Amino acid sequence: MKNILFIMADQLRYDYIGCAGHPSLETPNIDALAARGVRFSQAYVQSPVCGPSRMCFYTGRYISTHGATWNYVPLPTSEMTMGDHLRPLGTDVLLVGKSHVTPNLDGLARLGIDPNTKEGRLVAEGGFRVFERDDGIHADAAVKPDYAYNQYLEEHGLGGPNPWHYRANATGGAEPKTGWYLQNVGAAARVPAEHSETAYMTNRAMECIAAQTDQWCLHLSYIKPHWPYVAPAPYHAMYGAADVPPALRDPRELDDPHPVLAAYHAREECRTFCRDEARDTVIPVYMGMIKQIDDEIGRLVAFLEDRGELDQTLIVFTSDHGDYLGDHWLGDKEMFHRQSTRIPLIVVDPDAAADGTRGTVSTRPVESIDLLPSFVDWLGGEVPDHILEGQSLLPLLHGQDVPWRDTVFSELDYSFRQQRRELNVTPHAARAYNLRNARWNYVYFEGFPPQLFDLETDPDEFVDLGRDPAYSDICAELEARLFAWLRARKRRATISDAAIEAKTESWRKNGVFAGAWSPEDQE
């Protein structure tokens, strides 16, 4: 039996784990996974936004192919997801935590599929069989969402109008202070650590694993360290302002910035994170939430070991995107600096074939879409290359020298943002495309000049060369490379190349001779 534990933290930066070199954040359990597997130091998401990024993980396809361009944009019902690819290999694909999948109810209705049936639920939930789903944003304090976690808090004497809002993501004593206001997040959450979202989801993951009798793939998707930035004691106070790395930003970035970047600079979260007071308040809590995730991963790995399942389980630890935390004068995510698009990625393959790479760091450019073909490959399936756009990581895990990409791609649809209106851009045109390789970080904005960073001379991405005439030839070359990539998307997903080869000119074998003059003229 082969199992897969696919762990994702939400909004975790690539450099906020110990083994990636953070100067003060210790993550011994995540580091232990890296020591048992391979850490991919150059892993990038295909969109720096939760929903579309996750749809790339779940489909193994780029946004331009699958079409779910932003949060709450449903996947087409025709899109195959992780469950569709792994269930035929005898693997139950389960979810505990966040998925950000938006049900395509119009698509289900068009096909006459009831979303309340077993089949309808699988399609509506992006191919996952849901053990427990909680996307972790229940913001309306006046409404008590009917979520299992809220019920759990009530059962443990931690109820209220909306326990998620007033307890798990609030600080203070008798008078709750919501974590939506960053000035409140330095104090402890109003739930103890053992009843926090992170600990609760770990418990539910262990219950899910214990209930399985067949081969499984469990997507354990932690809600943190995504905002609201609230941590329970003692994690809220483990780190202080002295542990906060200096902001990686330069005054030159504010001197005639790119129009889209300037619009984002004006967003509230960006203005707030430009303040040292905000960074010194929030980032220690952000680090505390990561420390708690690390502790919970240690508990989960020990659980697998006690059950004798550790040596038959492929373990992946990653994130859906990063967090600027004030770098480049930005907060949250969405632009294409590495703080936003680069992610931690650790893969532990228990197979003896991976023994030679254990504890190593791979610098190959890796994309989030590589995980699904890796899972298919690891389970012994044939990777459907006409559908999946990523590359299996197994050859790299097994120390094989195989042809590999030199460039990664990412995309953004900012049509849902007010900035689109301020820039007088239609929803259809609010698109950006990112190409990154060892030398260049290039961003194509529909209707605006490009951005260009020379990573050789400017590794911190401070100086935008996109509007510099001296670099117009470089921009033209990278734009051509980008549009060659766009033309190569795998949109013919219903038939394989092998099937096409078999059908090529096959009508002649079936007695169809279109255009022939006589039997003597047949080829």
- Amino acid making up residue 377: D
22-36, 146-160, 338-352, 477-491: least confident range: 146-160
φ, ψ (nearest 5 deg) of residue 449: -60, 160
Task: Give me the half-sphere count of Cα atoms (radius 13 Å) on the Cβ side of residue 86.
Answer: 32
| pLDDT reported for residue 516 | 83
Cα separations in angstroms, 502 against 85, 169, 327, 460, 498: 23, 58, 54, 51, 6
**Whether this model's pTM surpasses 0.85:** yes
What CA–CA distance (Å, rounded) separates 390 from 367? 7
What CA–CA distance (Å, rounded) separates 325 from 109? 42
Q: What is the pLDDT of residues 381-439, one digit of tens each?
A: 999 999 999 999 999 999 999 999 999 999 999 999 999 999 999 999 999 999 999 99
128-142, 257-271, 405-419: least confident range: 128-142
Q: What angle do CA 436, 57, 289 make, to 5 degrees?
A: 90
Cα separations in angstroms, 32 against 122, 165, 185, 206, 297: 34, 34, 30, 20, 10
Residue 236 CA, chain-centre distance (Å), reads: 25
Element (H, E) at 409: strand 407-413
What CA–CA distance (Å, rounded) separates 364 from 38? 11
Helix (H, G, I), strand (E, B) or coil at 447: coil
Q: What is the pLDDT of residues 445-490, one digit of tens each?
A: 999 999 999 999 999 999 999 999 999 999 999 999 999 999 999 9
Assess whether pLDDT exceeds 80 at residue 340: yes
Assess whether pLDDT exceeds 70 at residue 143: no
Helix (H, G, I), strand (E, B) or coil at 207: helix
Element (H, E) at 129: strand 129-133
Peptide bond preceding 225 in cis form (omega within 30 of 0) = yes
| pLDDT reported for residue 522 | 65
| pLDDT reported for residue 514 | 82
What CA–CA distance (Å, rounded) separates 277 from 241? 9
Q: Give the number of residues written for the chain.
A: 523
* Contact status, residue 34 vs residue 42, Cβ threshold 8 Å: no
